[in-house]
Chain A
Amino acid sequence: MSQRTPALTAGEWLRFLDRFAIWIVLLLLLAVAALLSDAFLRPNYLLNILRQTAPVGIAAIGVTLVMIAGGVDLSVGAVISLTAVVSAVLMEGDAANVPYAVVVTLLVGTAIGLANGVLIAFNRVSPFILTLGMAIVIYGVTQIYSGGTARGVVAPGFREVFNARIGGLVPVLALAFALVAVLGIFVQRATRFGRSLYLIGSNAAAARLAGLPIARVTVAAYAISGFCAALGGMALLARSGVSSTFAGRGLEFDVLAAVVLGGTTFEGGRGGIGGTVAGLLVLVVAFNLVNIVGLDYNAQLIVKGAIIIAASALYARLKVRR
């Protein structure tokens, strides 16, 4: 086809591959999955996968923005844990408390993000270690706040609303994930803030010389990441209904894997939310695939790890080497 359309040169083909490599990997994986099990052809099952991945996915969108600007946020797993507990405790099993609980929970997440952002923007510290330290602090606070056990009662209706399926098909949680993703893509592409993120990530010195408000943009990016993680915490609470104190532990690695698979690098300046969504889907499809094939948990871990490495290697091959 490329011979017939002279508009599409070899270089453009490579750029196309570069941009959509992770989507190609996802399609290949889905094709393999469909061969192994016809469940992957059912829209119901595919939408359920989206529902399943909503908490991690929503948090990953905020982290992507941070990483475009060359930072990283490892505190999202802890924020998810804390906010799930906070919102369950504030709800007290009463539907009338829901609006109050939601607002406070989002404020808590945003405040933690703000703290991360301020500490990072005004000091030359490694965001990796700082947010890791913040995660340990948050786990401590979560434990003290909850007394170390699952506390709080989810309000009636809260779970039902989020776990409902619109028209009996589209899960509300999946829709919420899609909505946040679309909003994120809009912010990343069409706003001055979004473009600033790319500029700061690709060359902070040049961005400063050009007069970009680096500190303000950095703080905003981390605040958004905290906000998204709080949304993720509530999504997790809605999905599971239990506010365990370590509910989000380790989720930051799922988030990071999805973001990096999606083409956003630790150096910053590249990638985006679209890639993150695809990277996340590669991870969950891989996970569901080993699940549905009926491997036991041990074998699942092995195959899942192998798929992640293989997908990443394939992706690296597809990408243009500069």
Chain B
Amino acid sequence: MTALVARARPLGRHGIFILLLILAMVGAAAAPEFRTPENVANVLKQSAALGVLAVGQSFVIVGGMIDLLALALGAGVGAINGGLNNRLRVHPLILTFGMLSILQGMIFVYTDRSVGLVSPAFRWIADGNVLGVPFAALLLAVLSLGAAFLLHRTRFGHHLMAIGGSEENARRAGIDAARVKLVAFTLSGLSAGVAGILLAGRLGTGYPNAGAGYELDAIVAVVLGGTALAGGRGTIAGTIAAVLVLGITSNLLNLLEVSAFVQMLIKGLIVILAILVNQPARRPL
């Protein structure tokens, strides 16, 4: 296994795109329904919420932090998080863990069951089409392009990468690390808010526990996409490719009528395999 992985390693940063391509071809060959335009639109709609979430999460992880809060809430929380992280020097993981608990509590105080019917506008955002293309997919595409521009082409993006690479060095170079990290957390919170809208629109109701488990899926997607968990390296395109890999896998297994239990097993194996193939060629120590 290790030898196989070693041979696959030169694939390097393009591994996830190749995996996506292979998966799509296998899917098209294995299940005729997979090729239908309806199903493709379906996969895109289903992946949109996770995609938006993962794009926001990319900023936090590239900066060398982590945000478990994900779906629980909007930009406000992201900003509070970033602020606390800077001011109190609380470890980001502990902080988001604590905030997660607080937010869950607040959500349950607000409502302990599914609330209300989502307005038609919400539903349209998640389920509607523009010229035959799902609006959610368009939204994801636009947000991804914006995020890619922000991360790879602006001063903020470069500063964030620098902080992820070495916060100490970035600070000595005169970068206001606290402010940049605050913005990253805020972006993550903002994208979580959009993802929450997409999810609520798809379910047609506001179910308080709807986002459970999504935060981990988002982190998995970001890292599968080639972003180093230690920060300093990563692309939005890789993140989106990884989201699609996860989405296609679960869609394909559903079409092939694989039981939910076996699906879980396969999903885990794919994560392990992908991380082994897609590991960074690190500079020698």
Q: A residues bordering B, Cβ < 8 Å?
A: 119, 122-126, 128-130, 132-141, 143-144, 148, 204-205, 208, 253, 256-257, 260-261, 265-266, 297-309, 312-313, 316-317
Contact present for A130 and B275 (CB under 8 Å): yes
Q: B residues bordering A, Cβ < 8 Å?
A: 2, 5, 68, 84, 88-91, 93-95, 97-106, 108-109, 112, 216, 219-220, 223-224, 228-230, 260-272, 275-276, 279-280, 282, 285
Contact present for B5 and A257 (CB under 8 Å): no
Contact present for A132 and B220 (CB under 8 Å): yes
Q: How far is A308 from B104 in the complex, measured between Cα atoms in Å?
A: 14
Contact present for B99 and A309 (CB under 8 Å): yes
Contact present for B275 and A125 (CB under 8 Å): yes
Contact present for B91 and A312 (CB under 8 Å): yes
Known: A298-B109, A301-B101. A140 touches B261 (CB 8 A): yes
Q: How far is A298 from B103 in the complex, measured between Cα atoms in Å?
A: 9
Q: How far is A137 from B265 in the complex, measured between Cα atoms in Å?
A: 4
Contact present for B266 and A140 (CB under 8 Å): yes
Which residue from B2, B91, B93 sits with its C-beta under 8 Å from A122?
B2
Contact present for B265 and A308 (CB under 8 Å): no
Contact present for B265 and A140 (CB under 8 Å): yes
Q: How far is A139 from B104 in the complex, measured between Cα atoms in Å?
A: 24
Given A140-B268, A302-B109, A316-B90, output 15 extra A-B contacts at Cβ < 8 Å.
A125-B276, A126-B230, A130-B272, A132-B216, A132-B271, A133-B268, A137-B264, A144-B261, A148-B261, A256-B97, A266-B93, A299-B109, A312-B98, A316-B88, A316-B89
**Chain B minimum-CB-distance residue to A266:** B93
26 A–B contacts from the bound complex (CB under 8 Å):
A122-B2, A125-B276, A126-B230, A126-B275, A128-B219, A128-B223, A130-B275, A133-B275, A137-B272, A140-B262, A143-B261, A253-B97, A257-B94, A297-B108, A300-B105, A301-B108, A303-B105, A304-B105, A305-B100, A306-B102, A309-B99, A312-B88, A312-B90, A316-B88, A316-B89, A317-B89
Q: Kindly provide the distance from the CB of A163 to the nearest chain B CB, expressed in whole angstroms.
A: 28
Q: In the assembled complex, which residues on chain B have CB atoms less than 8 Å from the CB atom of A139?
A: 264, 268
Contact present for B262 and A144 (CB under 8 Å): yes
